[in-house]
Structure 1
């Protein structure tokens, strides 16, 4: 992952591929629609726990490794 915008785009594509509105997808993920909108738009200062809930719901696997 190179930027918050990249992650936001992945989330948006996953949501749109399921033909869900932001509100419907946010409800499934257990977050607010505004949070989802901010994530999809690449806001860099979002709560990590909520970001992980959304990515899990979207079927996006995030992992970290030490460089």
Structure 2
């Protein structure tokens, strides 16, 4: 399970390197700028979701079929989301 932008970026980087691509080559294949790929791989939390999903698919990361995903369940006190920041 990916729990942060940093983990997602590291996964994209890992897959890109396995393909033998540079960040510039991935950016060209995704139709983005190299700066975006650098930010994505460094875990910048403000990266655009759509571009991030395109980059993930481009390097072969299977994100699953969101249409078949279960409906959200209300979190409980002892859920597995303790890593997320809490805002009051």
Give your verdict on TM over 0.5: yes
Give the greater-gyration-radius structure (CA): 2
Q: What are structure 1's unaligned runs of at least 5 residues?
A: none
Q: CA RMSD in A?
A: 1.3
Moved over 3 A (4+): none
Equivalenced residues, count: 67
| Bigger relative CO (Cα 8 Å, ≥ 6 apart) | 1
Give the number of the structure whose residues are more often helix, by fraction: 1
Q: Secondary structure at the match of 1:61?
A: coil
Segments of structure 2 that go 5 or more residues without pairing to the other structure are: 74-88
What is the TM-score with the length of structure 2 in the denominator? Answer: 0.70
- The TM-score with structure 1 as length reference comes to 0.89
1:60 is aligned to 61
